[in-house]
Amino acid sequence: MWRALVFIGLLCVAAFGAVWLADRPGTVLITFSGYEVRMSVAVAAIALVGLALVLALLWSLVSGILRLPSRLTFASRARRRARGYQAVSRGMVAVGAGDTIAARRYANEAERLLGREPLTLLLKAQAAQVSGNREAAEAAFTQMMEEDETRVLGLRGLFVEARRRGDGAAAQEYASEAVRLAPAAAWASDAVLEARCADRDWRGALEAIERRTSLGLLDKATARRHRAVLLTADALERVDHDPEGALRSALDAAKLAPDLVPAAAVAGRLLSRRGDLRKAAKVVEAAWRSLPHPDLADVYLNLRPGDSGLDRLKRAETLIRLSGGAPEGRLAVARAALEAREFERARSALDPLLQDRPSMRVCLLMSDLEQAEHGSTGKGREWLARATRAPRDPAWIADGVVSDHWAPVSPVTGRLDAFVWQAPPDVLIAPELTLHDDVTADLDDEPRPLPAMPAPKAALGEAPVSEPEPVVAAPEAKADATPGEPVKEQAGKPLPEPVVFPASPPDVPKPKEEAAAARRSVFSVW
């Protein structure tokens, strides 16, 4: 709209000028080399405009001829770049598809057409990774280090290659340099945090968490939880040689995450040693309301050393009220009542847990209750036999690994705050761990081997179980054969091959030694 109005305005000005010249007579005289040219003013103006147009056309023609070589060169370069970027695109597709031959061919073509472009170097490195040529990949990533715009990408690639060959020191160095150059690089920040946790440098890990939070890489809730986990790890590390420092760390962790069981347990135990029973009880009760746990029950029942069994039973009654009748509260009451020889109270606490499938700890507590009240009887041995087939009790689990104790990081992946308190399945199957940490997801890598699964834990109340021998079913004997005698060949015929059946859990009670080991394993939780 505005352009049309401006154009109309210019036409009006030109028309006004033409009319003005036509209305004013005048003569223009040009004398040159004895010749005179006389014309009107209007004709002279038209001739001047025409001469300017002719000169402009001549200048355009001359400049076009002069620029023709550079234009031809630019067109050739443009076609070359277009072919190069097309090779980069096809090479990336070949890398994603796992076509090593095509990936190398397109990488070489892109390097020939484009030179040391960032995308060319990246394609070259990825093609080398897909082909398994780690030396060529490292050389490409090293070339990226020479340019400012690709230096962080080169550090990322060198970090991945160092992790692959098991050079943790070099990987940590590359990650630290990347954090210095690009603090917002999440992979570098994660690597620095993981390395400090692996070195048990909890204070350094806290600094890494603070830096990530300030950069917006962590939300506030996750940052608070991670700080609490690291403070708890620091408290557990210093509990023996620096109790005061451990107490400060544990209290700070309990304040950040009141439901973090290890922090509350450490804080309650250390406060109990100092004689601050009221504060210790408050910390443990706050964590118990969120997650009833046997460690918390152990700390709470033993806040004051030397208390009688009835005093501990009263504290256990407080726990069951706070948890609203949760199973852990009932187990705490049953254990305290058994120690106080209040057998009826112990039975009433365990009765709701016997309705469905009682867990291993419940079965062992019932066995102890029967033996304490009635002596060594068949019922006690029956409960011991049931404990061998009972469901597992909750335990600390992280990435398919069951642990006796809580830990701040996963032993498999190094992930912070990985352990959760839950009942393990009957058969633990570790998750498939395909850790893709390439620059653009190297697809030729095989999954990393998983660590060996630990043996059954004492904290779960399981006795060491040896692998059962197969049960061999003997062939049918004659009806009149004497029990216990070996079966003889009939009429000189060889006996048929024995049939092997898989062993099933025995229905008979366990030997005394195994039963005692089972009881000790569960009692270790208390």
What average pLDDT values come out for the chain (526 residues) when binned by 10 residues?
Answer: 86 81 74 79 79 89 84 81 89 88 89 84 87 87 86 91 89 91 90 91 92 89 94 94 93 94 95 92 93 93 87 91 90 93 92 90 92 85 90 91 91 91 68 43 40 38 37 36 38 38 38 44 36
Question: Which are the contacts of 50, defined by CB distance < 8 A and separation ≥ 6?
Answer: none
* Helix ranges (DSSP H) in 165-260: 168-181, 186-198, 202-214, 220-238, 243-256
Q: What angle do CA 466, 472, 474 make, to 5 degrees?
A: 155
Q: Which tokens in the block code for residue 338?
A: 């058994």
Sheet strands (E) in 119-162: none
Q: For residue 421, what pLDDT is reported? A: 93
> What was the pLDDT predicted at 426?
65
CA distance 107 to 119: 10
pLDDT at 100: 87
The pLDDT value recorded for residue 489 is 38
Q: Supply the DSSP string of 22-68, one letter for each residue.
A: HHS--EEEEEETTEEEEEEHHHHHHHHHHHHHHHHHHHHHHHHHHHH
pLDDT of residue 427: 52
**Which residues contact residue 398 at a Cβ distance below 8 angstroms, ignoring those fewer than 6 apart?**
407, 410, 411, 412, 415, 418, 419, 420
Determine the Cα–Cα distance for residues 175 and 160; give it in Å rounded to an integer. Answer: 10
Tell me, rounded to whole angstroms, the distance of Cα 24 from its chain centroid. 90
What pLDDT, on a 0 to 100 scale, did the predictor assign at position 278? Answer: 92
CA–CA distance, 521 with 460 (Å, rounded to integer): 7
pLDDT of residue 269: 94
Contact in structure between 349 and 326 (CB atoms under 8 Å): no
Phi, psi of 437 (to 5 degrees): -125, 35
The pLDDT value recorded for residue 29 is 78
The domains of the chain, with CATH numbers, are: 9-74 (no CATH), 133-218 (1.25.40.10), 392-425 (no CATH)
Rounded distance between C-alpha atoms, residue 85 and residue 116, angstroms: 12
